[in-house]
């Protein structure tokens, strides 16, 4: 007996969904590295925020994993690239994170375009959640960057943000 209802999935879409697992896990890896940068410098609020963010990215990867599995597709795991770790400033970190999220957004939009092109409704509905999620991700990083740019990366701004970012629950 089949564990789940199997809906046929195209090879091309399957490849893209598997690639997205890798991209989400890379995001987790990138943010874990950023968490370490802050933790090493005693900025536990920033570190906490990035650890929660890393966990969220792992959850995104699992959502793609589950979608592939639920549809009877094959999971193909590839090596995860090492993230950079030589940041010069906190502003640079948030700039890189925002740049990365914009790339993820582009990737999600491309997969959605493909799903629409091949009329894969389940994939389309599944991907819509991520279209919304990416608006939120870009907004969060932009908001923090705006504070850093407006107030400058002074010790006061950093400590204020450290307190604020410590409050993140999920």
**Interacting residues with Mg ion (CB under 5 A):** 24, 57, 60
CA distances from 65 to 69, 88, 109 (A): 6, 35, 18
Closer to Mg ion by Cβ: residue 61 or 158: 61
Name, in order, each residue with C-beta under 8 angstroms of 117's C-beta and a sequence gap of 6 or more.
Answer: none
Closer to Mg ion by Cβ: residue 57 or 120: 57
Closer to Mg ion by Cβ: residue 41 or 78: 78
Closer to Mg ion by Cβ: residue 108 or 158: 108
**81-97 burial, b if ≥16 CB within 10 A, otherwise e?**
eebeeeeeebbebbbbb
Give residue 116's Cα distance to chain centre: 23
Distance of closest approach, residue 57 Cβ to Mg ion, in angstroms: 5
The rounded distance, in Å, linking the Cα atoms of 168 and 47 is 11
Instruction: Report the residue number whose CB is nearest to Mg ion.
Output: 60
CA distances from 151 to 50, 88, 156 (A): 21, 18, 9
The rounded distance, in Å, linking the Cα atoms of 46 and 168 is 10
Distance of closest approach, residue 16 Cβ to Mg ion, in angstroms: 15
Closer to Mg ion by Cβ: residue 60 or 67: 60
Q: Where are the alpha helices (DSSP H) in the chain?
A: 11-40, 44-70, 90-117, 121-151, 155-165
Distance of closest approach, residue 8 Cβ to Mg ion, in angstroms: 26
Distance of closest approach, residue 17 Cβ to Mg ion, in angstroms: 14
Distance of closest approach, residue 106 Cβ to Mg ion, in angstroms: 13
């Amino acid at each position: 007996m089949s564990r789940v209802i199997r809906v046929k999935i195209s090879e091309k879409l399957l490849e893209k969904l598997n690639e997205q697992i890798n991209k989400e896990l890379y995001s987790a890896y990138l943010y874990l590295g950023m968490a370490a940068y802050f933790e090493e410098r005693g900025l536990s609020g920033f570190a906490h925020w990035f650890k929660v963010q890393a966990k969220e990215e792992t959850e995104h990867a699992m959502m793609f994993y589950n979608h592939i599995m639920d549809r009877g597709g094959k999971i193909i795991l590839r090596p995860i690239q090492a993230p950079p770790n030589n940041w010069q400033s906190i502003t640079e970190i948030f700039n890189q994170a925002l740049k990365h999220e914009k790339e993820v957004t582009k990737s999600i939009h491309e997969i959605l375009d493909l799903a629409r092109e091949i009329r894969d409704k389940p994939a389309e509905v599944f991907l819509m959640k991520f279209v919304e999620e990416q608006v939120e991700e870009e907004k969060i990083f932009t908001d923090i960057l705006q504070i850093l740019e407006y107030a400058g990366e002074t010790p006061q701004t950093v400590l204020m943000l450290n307190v604020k970012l410590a409050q993140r629950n999920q």
